[in-house]
């Protein structure tokens, strides 16, 4: 179930990012159009000012009336155009605020072009991530270049199973039985890749691989924090990185989770129950408690400046994870809702 839930949350997170990009692009387009309209209106206003000065100097009242009439028409047309652009922008903003994100994502996951874009983003992310996350293990196992390349290829294929099937699972039109079938498909395919990895590494090295893989989420988290500090005046040292990973793994294993999304019965495919509001609220509370508890330990490893940055990093990561879960909850909600 850990692989299934992780796959769902990862796809939901990437989909949320893609949705934000789409909405941002639309908003930028509307904003640019509005700016152009305002520019045209300003030009008309300048013309009105120039024509008004000309009118004051004009001797004939008929000329003055004609100029005013023409200017009024131009100004009115520009005002109408601006009003229409403002209405369109407001409608776009209202849609972004009021539309259910789950409904928007459901449509995205049915769009072949959008699905391909998400998969491409995943592949771009996975390659460097696998290199960074599993580089130490490859050295530890003393793999040959060919063995290392094969392992990375199998790991990427294993992770892509979650992306491919996860997008199908987030189709809002599916019922519980169909999602259970997809969950079993993820498990079957990932188990198949695990068997290939075991054959590649051998029994002893595979046991080491399994132990190492359990700490992969924590290594990824610390690696992201390290990257965030890389350009600052207080970069994370290799020793601090290793200490943080070990400390996070220890704290996570000892923390008493009431709602634990990483340790559930593999046969439980009731995702509507898994992501219901009570479970999400409980997890959010416990995740906040865990982060505060771990922060106290992290402060013993980090400098004061690094600890401040890490607390901000924790908050951003927690919110992103909860948002992804809320997305998944809307997708898995009973159809009557």
Q: Are 102 and 147 in contact (CB under 8 A)?
A: no
Q: Are 183 and 169 in contact (CB under 8 A)?
A: yes
Q: What is the pLDDT of residue 96?
A: 42
Q: What is the pLDDT of residue 41?
A: 60
pTM metric for this prediction: 0.61
Neighbours of 175 (CB within 10 A): 10
Residue whose tokens read 């999602």: 179
Q: What is the pLDDT of residue 307?
A: 95
3-state secondary structure of 6: helix
Q: What is the pLDDT of residue 303?
A: 95
Q: What is the pLDDT of residue 337?
A: 45
Q: What is the pLDDT of residue 97?
A: 42
CA distance 127 to 75: 56
Written as six digits, the tokens of 314 are 């924790």
Cα→Cα distances 169→111, 162, 275, 333, Å = 14, 10, 14, 12
Q: What is the pLDDT of residue 267?
A: 43
CA distance 133 to 241: 12
Nearest to 221, CA basis, from 239, 245, 186, 257: 245
Written as six digits, the tokens of 35 are 């700016």
Per DSSP, helices labelled H in the chain are 2-57, 61-98, 101-110, 112-141, 145-169, 176-201, 203-214, 216-229, 238-254, 271-274, 277-298, 304-332
pLDDT tens digits for the chain (337 residues)? 445 555 555 555 555 555 554 455 555 555 555 556 666 666 656 666 666 665 555 555 555 555 555 554 554 554 445 455 445 544 544 444 444 444 555 556 666 777 677 777 777 778 888 998 899 899 999 999 999 999 999 999 998 887 777 677 666 667 777 777 887 888 888 899 999 999 999 999 999 999 998 888 899 899 999 999 988 889 999 999 999 999 998 898 888 888 766 654 444 456 667 777 888 888 889 999 999 999 999 999 999 999 999 999 999 999 888 887 777 777 666 554 4
Q: Kindly report, residue by residue over 87-135, the tens digit of the pLDDT.
A: 554 454 444 444 444 455 555 666 677 767 777 777 777 888 899 889 9
Q: What is the pLDDT of residue 283?
A: 87
DSSP-assigned states of every residue in 206-259? HHHHHHHHHTHHHHHHHHHHHHHHTTSSSPPPHHHHHHHHHHHHHHHHHS--SS
Q: What is the pLDDT of residue 121?
A: 74
């Amino acid at each position: 179930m850990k692989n299934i839930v992780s796959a769902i949350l990862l796809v939901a997170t990437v989909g949320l990012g893609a949705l934000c990009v789409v909405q941002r692009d639309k908003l930028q387009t509307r904003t640019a159009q509005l700016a152009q309209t305002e520019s045209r209106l300003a030009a008309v206003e300048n013309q009105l000012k120039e024509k008004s000065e000309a009118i004051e100097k004009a001797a004939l009242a008929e000329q003055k009336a004609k100029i005013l009439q023409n200017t009024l028409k131009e100004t009115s047309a520009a005002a109408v155009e601006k009003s229409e652009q403002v209405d369109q922008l407001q409608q776009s903003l209202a849609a972004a605020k009021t539309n259910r994100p789950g409904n928007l994502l459901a449509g995205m996951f049915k769009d072949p072009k959008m699905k391909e874009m998400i998969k491409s983003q995943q592949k771009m992310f996975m390659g460097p991530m696998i290199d960074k996350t599993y580089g130490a293990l490859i050295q530890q196992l003393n793999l040959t270049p060919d063995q290392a390349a094969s392992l990375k290829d199998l790991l990427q294929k294993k992770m892509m199973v979650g992306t491919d099937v996860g997008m199908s699972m987030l189709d809002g039109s599916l019922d519980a039985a169909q999602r259970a079938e997809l969950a079993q498909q993820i498990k079957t395919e990932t188990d198949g890749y695990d068997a290939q990895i075991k054959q590649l590494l051998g029994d002893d090295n595979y046991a080491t691989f399994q132990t190492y893989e359990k700490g992969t989420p924590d290594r990824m988290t610390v690696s992201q924090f390290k990257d965030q500090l890389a350009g600052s005046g207080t970069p994370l040292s290799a020793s601090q990185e290793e200490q943080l990973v070990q400390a996070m793994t220890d704290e996570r294993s000892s923390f008493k989770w009431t709602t634990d999304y990483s340790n559930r019965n593999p046969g439980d495919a009731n995702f509507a129950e898994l992501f219901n509001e009570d479970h999400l609220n409980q997890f959010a509370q416990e995740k906040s408690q865990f982060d505060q508890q771990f922060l106290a330990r992290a402060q013993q490893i980090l400098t004061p400046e690094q600890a401040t940055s890490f607390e901000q990093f924790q908050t951003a990561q927690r919110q992103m994870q909860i948002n992804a879960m809320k997305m998944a909850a809307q997708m898995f909600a009973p159809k009557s809702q």
